[in-house]
Structure 1
Amino acid sequence: MAKKVVATLKKEGGVTYAKVIKAVKSEKTGAYTFREEMVPTTMVQDTLKK
């Protein structure tokens, strides 16, 4: 099923997306968790600066 979703995101003439994975440190335990987001390629730098 995931392959079908990826295939629909790569249609010609559509908006291209990038998967951004950020490591976020928990204040309670100090452990790292990973947050994943699908963002348009034009907004990748803005997403990483947050």
Structure 2
Amino acid sequence: MAKKVVATLQKKETKNFAKVIKAVKSPETGAYSFKEEMVPVEMVKEVLASAK
């Protein structure tokens, strides 16, 4: 199964995306959770800057 996943990630369409993982703090409990997004490589800096 792992070979199939790796093979699909190597397609030309998917090479232009990056997975962004942000830690988000809950205002109610103070606990951290993680938010994952797949964004185009060109937009990584904008996505990370918007989190501040």
TM-score (norm 1): 0.76
Amino acid at match of 1:47: V
Quick one: distance in 2 between partners of 1:10 and 1:42? 19
Q: Secondary structure at the match of 1:37?
A: strand
Runs of 5+ unmatched residues, structure 2: none
Superposition pairs of residues 5-44 of structure 1, within 5 angstroms: 7=8, 9-12=9-12, 14=13, 16-44=16-44
More helix as a share of residues = 2
Quick one: distance in 1 between partners of 2:10 and 2:39? 13
Q: Percent same amino acid among aligned pairs?
A: 55
Q: Secondary structure at the match of 2:37?
A: strand
TM-score (norm 2): 0.74
Amino acid at match of 1:28: E
Following superposition, the deviation at residue 21 of structure 1 comes to 0.1
Following superposition, the deviation at residue 11 of structure 1 comes to 2.4
CA RMSD of aligned residues (A): 2.1
